[in-house]
Amino acid sequence: MDNNNNKQINSKITTNSGSAVGHYEDSQTVGQRGPVLLQDYFLHEKLAQFNRERIPERIVHAKGTGAYGKFVVTHDITSYTRAKLFSKIGKETDMFVRFSTVGGERGSADSERDPRGFALKFYTEDGNWDLVGNNTPVFFIKDAKKFPDFIHTQKRDPQTNLKSPTMVWDFWSLNPESLHQVLILMSDRGTPNGFQHMHGFGSHTFSMVNTNNEWTYVKFHYKTQQGIKNLTGNEALAMRGSDPDFGQKMLIDAIAAGNFPRYTFSIQVMTQEQAKTFRWNPFDLTKVWSQKEYPLIEVGYIELNKIPSNYFAEVEQAAFAPANLVDGIGFSPDKMLQGRILSYPDAQRYRIGTNYQSLPVNACPFMTNNYHRDGAMRFDGNSGGAPNYFPNSFDGNFEDPAAKGQPYELDSNIVAYFDRNANDNDHYTQPGDLFDNVMDAQAKANTIKNIVGAMSGIEGPKREEIIMRQLCHWFRASVPLGMGIAQGLQIDMEKLKALMPQR
C-alpha cells in the first residue's frame, strides 16, 4: 500500500479551496501595529484547522505505532478454510499492523505495565480482514458488559484524576475471572522489550469453513521470530524516564535498517464435537486451549517492511474492527467477541466519522459496492448518480448466497441473563499451571516482586479487605505464589488463614 500524499513541491501555496496565498507569515492589520482584520481569511483557516488537528483519542489503545507489511502463506490449510488469502502456498497479502498499550493516554510510555495491542489488517481480494488481538492469549473479563467498568479502573480516579491501584485491585479482587490475565500482566511479559520481541494472539475463538462447508473453531497465534525479550520491573521503570517512546523508535529503526520484523502465523483447531466436551468453555476469553491437546498448525509469516509516511493519516486514523471478516472465517459464541462486533466500529464512527473506512489506510484496495451514502467527509464521489436503494431496475447488483455463512444450532432457545461463571468458575487452574509449571525460578521471583509492588499501592479504609480478598485468589491458584506475595506484603498469616476459603 502506497499512501504518499500528492502535495506539490516548488509550487505556489494555496488555501484549502485552492486559492493562491499571497502572504503566509503575517496577519493583515490596520497599520503596522493596528488590529487584525476579519477579512484575513487565510489566518482564520490556519487557526481553525490547527484547532481541529486532534481527533478524539482512542478510549483504549490510545498510544500506538504501526507499519505496513505482507503476509506470506507457507503451509496449506485449505482443508480448514476457503478464505482466499490462504488459497495457495506462496500467496502474499498486503497488511497494516498497529501495536499499542491498552490503558494509557497517547502520551503514555511504551514501557508501562500493560497488555499490548497487536492488531492486524489484511487487505484481501474478498475485503479487509481485521484480526484485533493482544500480546496475551487471554483477557481480564469474559463478557463485554463488564468492559466499561474494567477500563474505568485502569484509567483515572474521578476525584483525584490520578491512576489508582486501589480501584484496579478492588475490581480484580471482586472478579477472580481476571486472575489468569493479571498473573501474565504481573510477570515480565507485562513489560515487553519492544514490539518486535513479543508474541501476538487473536485471543478470541473464531471459526473457519472450507469449500465443503465443513466447520471448525480456531485460535490465531503470531509468534515473534526475533525471540522473546522482556524488561524487568526496574528496567521498565527506568525506561519510562529515559525513553518513553522506545518501542516505536525500535520498530522504526529496525525497518529503516532493513531488519524487517517477522512473526510466524499459526492456528489451533478444535472440532465442534471437541468443543462440546472441552474441560472449560472453549469460548471463554479468560482460558487458553492447551497446545499439547490442540497443537499449533503453522500457516505462514508476517513481515513488517514499510514505515508509514504520515503518523496521523496512517496510524492514528487506522481503524480496526473484529466485525471485518472475510469468507471462510467466522465468529463464535465468545461473549467478548460478540460485544466487540458492535463496539469497535461504533467507536471508530464516533472517533473518525461514519466514512472512516474510505480513508486510505482503512480502505479495501479492491472493489467495494453497496448503497451506503452521504455522511460527513464523504470524499469518494458518493457513488455519483447511481441508485441508492436495493433492489432496483438499473444497476444489476446482486447478493452472493455463498456469503450467507453456515447454519448452526444454538445450545438453547431460552432467552435470559445467564451468569457468565455458571458451570465455568474455575479461575485458578490455568494461572496456577502457568506459575507452577511454566515459569522458571527467576520469572517466579520477578512476578512476585511485581505483584507486591503493584498491590502496595492499595490505600484507604478498604485496603486490608481488598488485599486479603486478592490474596485468597493467589493462594487458590498456587500456594507458593500466595505465600510469596503475602510475605512480601508483610501480611499477618494468622489473620489471612482465618479468611482463607475451606476446600
Instruction: Point out the residues that are catalytic.
Output: 61, 134
Question: Where are any strands of DSSP class E within 80-165?
Answer: 92-101, 116-124, 127-134
* DSSP codes, 461-489: TTHHHHHHHHHHHHHHH-HHHHHHHHHHT
* Amino acid at the residue 62: A
Helix, strand, coil percentages in the chain from 3-state DSSP, rounded to 5: 35, 15, 50
For residue 150, the surrounding DSSP H or E stretch is helix 147-154
Rounded distance between C-alpha atoms, residue 276 and residue 274, angstroms: 5
Is the Cβ–Cβ distance between 13 and 46 less than 8 Å? Answer: no
The dihedral region occupied by 384, where left means phi > 0, alpha psi between -120 and 50, and beta the remainder, is left
- The candidate with the shortest Cα–Cα distance to 99, out of 255, 234, 323, 257, is 255
Q: Cell numbers for 189, please give them.
A: 511479559
The dihedral region occupied by 490, where left means phi > 0, alpha psi between -120 and 50, and beta the remainder, is left
Placement of cell 444497476 in the chain: 395
In terms of Cβ atoms closer than 10 Å to its own Cβ (0-12, 13-18, 19+), residue 110 is buried
Instruction: Write the CB contacts of 50 (distance below 8 Å, at least 6 apart in sequence).
Output: none
